[in-house]
Amino acid sequence: MNIIGFFIAVFLLVLVPYIGLWKLFEKAGVPGWKALIPLYNAYTMIELSGRPVWWWFLLLVPGLNILVAFGVTIDFIKSYGKLSLGQILGSVTIPFILFPKWGFDKETTYWGPSVTPEFKAKHQKKLAKSSAREWTEAIIFAVVAATLIRTLFIEAYTIPTPSMERSLLVGDFLFVSKVNYGARMPITPVSFPFAHHTMPLIGTKAYWDGIKLPYYRLPGLSDVKKGDVVVFNYPMEADTPLNRPVDKRENYIKRCQGAPGDTIALLQAQVYVDGKPMPNPPGSQIDYTVLDNGTPLNPDVLQELEVTQYDNTLSPTMTKASAAKIKGFSNIKSIAPNIAKLGVGDPSIFPNGTPQYKLKATDKDFNWNVDNFGPIIVPKKGWTVKLDSLTLPVYGRAIEVYEGNKLEIANGEVKINGQKATSYTFKMNYYWMMGDNRHDSADSRYWGFVPEDHIVGKALFIWMSWDDNAGFFSKIRWSRLFRGIN
């Protein structure tokens, strides 16, 4: 949405309803100017509908205030005889149409406080509901309440891939907190309830991106910390062919290894932050090469040690603890981690494969790989980076795609939004995310930084774990139920 569209949206969503509210206040004998004062107008609406004053204080509670605001609005319009289901739904979905319509409608009058016993007794027949309407209102309320809970407080998430093994397993069902980092307000507000980006069965888009709101996050309990297991939107879905809005990009789950301003490096599969080794999660694993004496490893032992074999290769994936136990078996000649060689570059590793961000076409790729990487600095809001042949490939995508600038590189010269630039100051914080399954995880090593507006929430605990490959009576991993995520 451009700046003109943004101001049009503000006018429709904020100013126009206030005009209607002014006229409705006057119908109740209240000075219309009170409609223009934020929070005080809500206090007046509560008074006119007969709700107790303490309801106003609920409007100050983040998250709960949205649900209370719906209730205040519905009680208020009932006080003017707007009792039908369509009028109730319209008051919270299109107030910029209905409030002015009712405000300037001569037949719309103030009936009195709608929540009082006297009002209900006087208008008993009009307030009576059919069974169908009661069910409809109950379903609508449930959908609205569930949507608010998912948006503001907590949401369920399922682990679809092995990228976080053995900390999190395929089939783990998690609860993800929106409160810890602060709930992100919807960027694409018009969408089908309970569908993320694609409609079930028919496969079409589950949202309309004609309206996009600016990024805003409610205050949280803490910032994203190193070591947190974080759910975020996959940044690469900003590209063709998907071109999805930020909040409709696929949800990924990884562990935060680098916070804004950190210097990240990998050496021999060990993560270093600001020159110090980061503790490896107990469940982290990599590939190993196993050489036996001709007697293969017992499948039951492999299962007990939670060793993953891919197509019976001799390079199973396991934790360091499992590797130490296997090393002691009498039929094992040797076991060693498969660590990529230092100085041998991988073209699939970030920031390789992005020729559009090279200062010169002849600039060489970085000789980084999945186990040896960096060092690079994770961008921090307000940090200024010099733009040259070493930094442009690393930060070009963040500058252009995530921060919405027009970046041009030609003849060794850089232009940002048409102006020659030798440096850039970041507008957002960024994070470095990696899977605990280091050799089977598509993460920041492949596609770079995660912007702060992509952060969804913090993984809290596993409430259910289901093993598709186990026997019928062993499908539930009972030992993992209600386990916290560290």
Distance between CA 236 and CA 450 in Å, rounded?
A: 10
- In total, the chain counts a number of residues equal to 486
Whether 163 is catalytic is yes
Distance between CA 2 and CA 212 in Å, rounded?
A: 10
Torsion of CA 80, 82, 83, 86, to 10 degrees: -160
Using left for φ > 0, alpha for ψ between -120 and 50, and beta otherwise, residue 53 falls in alpha
Distance between CA 486 and CA 484 in Å, rounded?
A: 6
Distance between CA 224 and CA 235 in Å, rounded?
A: 17
Helices (H), ranges, 232-286: none
Look up residue 372 and give its DSSP letter.
Answer: S
Which of the following is catalytic: 49, 79, 91, 163?
A: 163
Q: Tell me the chain's radius of gyration from C-alpha atoms.
A: 28
Whether 254 is catalytic is yes
Burial grade of 311 (CB within 10 A; 0-12, 13-18, 19 or more) = exposed
Look up residue 296 and give its DSSP letter.
Answer: P
Among candidates 30, 32, 65, 63, which has minimal Cα distance to 49?
A: 30
Which of the following is catalytic: 23, 82, 178, 254?
A: 254
Partnered with residue 408 across adjacent β-strands are: 415
Burial grade of 430 (CB within 10 A; 0-12, 13-18, 19 or more) = buried
Residues designated as active site: 163, 254
